[in-house]
Amino acid sequence: MRTPEKDIIELTLLNTKMRIRTSEDKNHLSNVVKEYKEMLDTVEKKMKISDPLKIALIAGLFITDELITKTADLKPIAERENQISRQLAEMLDRINQCF
């Protein structure tokens, strides 16, 4: 089995150039970098921080908080879907017993 080919992508974040090797879709990666840069800019401007490490750490905390919040919002939906699936399975069993 052939592994996906990896491309080398050049990025500049907080005045730091880097090259990463990835097999991710370039459009997806571009969107990720764009969103992260926007968060970095927001942190830098609104909090008036100039230290790149602090900007990156605080941006990471904000993004992690957002991820946890959105994930928590989805849990009740997933639990309800599981409940509905169990109920449907029970109903199908009852219907099948009638035949």
pLDDT digits over 46-67, tens only? 999 999 999 999 999 999 999 9
Q: Span 83-93, mean pLDDT?
A: 86
**Predicted model pTM:** 0.66
* pLDDT score of 75 more than 80: no
Q: What's the length of the chain?
A: 99
Lookup result for tokens 């991820």? 67
- The pLDDT score that the predictor gives to residue 92 is 86
- The pLDDT score that the predictor gives to residue 12 is 93
> Which of the two residues, 31 and 73, has the higher pLDDT score?
31
